[in-house]
Amino acid sequence: MKTATDPRHTARKLSLSAIFCWLFSDPDTDQCVVLSEELLGSKETTTDSELIDFIISGVQRNRTKIDHIIEESAPEWPLDKISKVDLVILRIAVFELLYGNKAPVKVIIDEAIELAKEFGNDTSSKFINGVLGFVVANYIETADKEDSKNE
C-alpha cells in the first residue's frame, strides 16, 4: 500500500514538479529538484533519488517521441490544449511505460492517476487513465505480440 512517505511516490511527485518547472524556466534540473523539494516539503521524507534522476533524464531525452505518442493517444487534445500538469504526468507515465522498464504497467498507471488526483483538476484522473489505456493497448500490447511472434 502506498503511503505519503513512500520513497518511489515521493520521487514521482518531485519529478513531476521538476519537469513542470521546465515549462517556465531553463531546464536546470538540479535547481528545479531543490525548488520542488522545498515547495512540496519533501526534504524531510525519504525519497528515491535514483528514480528522480532516471525519470527526469528519461523524459528530457525522449520528450519528442513521448509527445508524439501522447498526440496519437489523445487526438482530440493538441498538446497546447492539455493542462500543463496533466501533460507532465502523461510524459512521466509514457516514459515509464515505454522506456523505463522499472515498474509494472499497473503500478505506473496507478501512480499517474494518483498524481492526477493530487495535482490535477476534477477530470484529470479520468483523462490520464484514458490516454494511458490507449498507450498500453496500442504500444505495449503490440510490442508484446511482436515479441511473442519472434520467439
Q: Model confidence over 59-87: pLDDT tens digits?
A: 999 999 999 999 999 999 999 999 999 99
Does a structural domain hold residue 78? Answer: yes
Contact 16, 88 (CB under 8 A): yes
Does a structural domain hold residue 46? Answer: yes
- Give the pLDDT score at 25: 66
Q: Which domain holds residue 62?
A: 7-150
**150 — pLDDT class (breaks 50, 70, 90):** very low
Does a structural domain hold residue 64? Answer: yes
Does a structural domain hold residue 138? Answer: yes
Does a structural domain hold residue 2? Answer: no
Cβ atoms < 10 Å from Cβ of 14: 26
Residue 63: name the closest of 33, 32, 99 by CA.
Answer: 99
Alpha helices in the chain (DSSP H): 7-22, 29-40, 49-73, 84-95, 105-119, 124-135, 141-150
- Give the pLDDT score at 148: 45
Does a structural domain hold residue 23? Answer: yes
**142 — pLDDT class (breaks 50, 70, 90):** low
Q: What is the pTM of this model?
A: 0.82
Cβ atoms < 10 Å from Cβ of 16: 25
3-state helix, strand, coil in the chain (%, to 5): 75, 0, 25
Report the number of distinct structural domains present in the chain: 1
CATH number at residue 104: 1.10.940.10
Q: Tell me the C-alpha to C-alpha distance, in Å, between residue 139 and each of 1, 4, 38, 134.
A: 28, 31, 36, 8
